[in-house]
Amino acid sequence: MELDIRYANHPDDTKYYTTEELREHFLIEDVFVEDEISLTYSHQDRIIAGGVMPVNKELQLEGSKDLGVDFFLQGRELGAINIGGDGVIVLDGKEYEIKSRDGLYVGRGTKEVIFKSADPKNPAKFYVNSASAHKEYPTVQIEFDKANPVKLGEAETMNVRTIYQYVHPAVCESCQLSMGMTVLEPQSAWNTMPSHTHERRMEVYFYFDMGENDKVFHMMGQPNETRHIVMSNEQAVISPSWSLHSGVGTKNYTFIWGMCGENKEFTDMDHIPMNDLK
């Protein structure tokens, strides 16, 4: 299980990146690879983000030299949301049925983490985020209807959407990790605009439910120095703590967001006045 390592970036350097360099540092291109665990390790708050797609075999998380531990969750916690067909996650021998759009919070200390699909013809796709953790919190199964829904946006501003909070204090405990899924209504294209930063936390966005020719223009950078990355279906993007993170799609889409850092206050955002954007 190899990790794709990404080092952290300073905003003064990042503003000189070419399109290719921006993509190399921040875009996670192949999140789901059949019968593989495909994970990216970012030095931004040491988040791990990626996909687990078991088709014809079971897949198990392993420790590695990069993590310096014997097993993956020795010093970490993990959140998973299944965006594919029905699947199962086995934690130290205990099976958790994770249907499509269901989630699971896995506490630090869990030794054996195995992912399986119920049907190889319609494989599960587990999108995962993991943060370092100082304490063991109980594992919690978070079915879609247990996630905390927050409706936001207006048709006039093309951003009617529901934010489903999965790993959130209203649903389960965690050390640093927050995670959820935002679903845009048809004819809505923008997420989080007016945009925001939160220097207290970094964030990763994973865009999906998009057609082959649909794109999301994901905005990043400091508010007075914005850049964009063109995203395709089932791709993720790393947002450093100093960067805004907001996207507009050629069609409505869904995305999973995950954060870690100093706090878990979802509403602790620094909103950017529209006239400050450059």
Ligand X SMILES: O=C[C@H](O)[C@@H](O)CC(=O)C(=O)O
Q: Quick one: three-class SS letters along 168-194?
A: CCCCCCCCCCEEEEEEECCCCCECCCC
Does 257 bind ligand X (CB under 6 A)? Our answer is: yes
Q: 22 phi and psi, to 5 degrees?
A: -60, -45
Q: Give the number of other Cβ atoms within 10 Å of residue 210's Cβ.
A: 21
* x/- track of binding to ligand X for residues 143-162 (CB under 6 A): ------------------x-
Q: In the sheet that 216-222 helps form, which strands lie side by side, from edge to edge? A: 225-231, 216-222, 246-249
The values of phi and psi at residue 97, to 5°, are -75, 120
The binder of 182, among ligand X, Zn ion, none, by C-beta within 5 to 8 A per type, is: ligand X
Q: Does 182 bind ligand X (CB under 6 A)?
A: yes
Query: Considering the complex, what minimum distance in angstroms separates the CB of residue 43 from Zn ion?
Result: 19
Q: Measuring CA to CA, how many Å separate 189 from each of 204, 209, 250?
A: 19, 13, 7
- Using CB under 5 A as the criterion, which residues of the chain lie in contact with Zn ion when the complex forms? 203
Rounded Cα distance, 107 and 90, in Å: 13
Applying CB under 6 A, among 176, 191, 235, 252 the residue interacting with ligand X is: 191
Q: 110 vs 159, which CB is nearer to ligand X? A: 159
Residue nearer to ligand X on the CB measure, 139 or 159: 159
Find the shortest distance in angstroms from Cβ 265 to Zn ion.
Answer: 11
Please identify, using beta-carbon distances, which residue of 88 and 259 lies nearer to ligand X: 259
By beta-carbon proximity to ligand X, the closer residue of 78 and 163 is: 163
Quickly list H helices, the chain.
Answer: 11-14, 19-26
Q: How far is the CB of 219 from Zn ion (least distance, A)?
A: 12
d(CA 34, CA 41): 20
By the rule CB under 6 A, 203 interacts with ligand X: yes
Binding site for ligand X (CB under 6 A): 161, 163, 182, 191-192, 203, 245, 257, 269
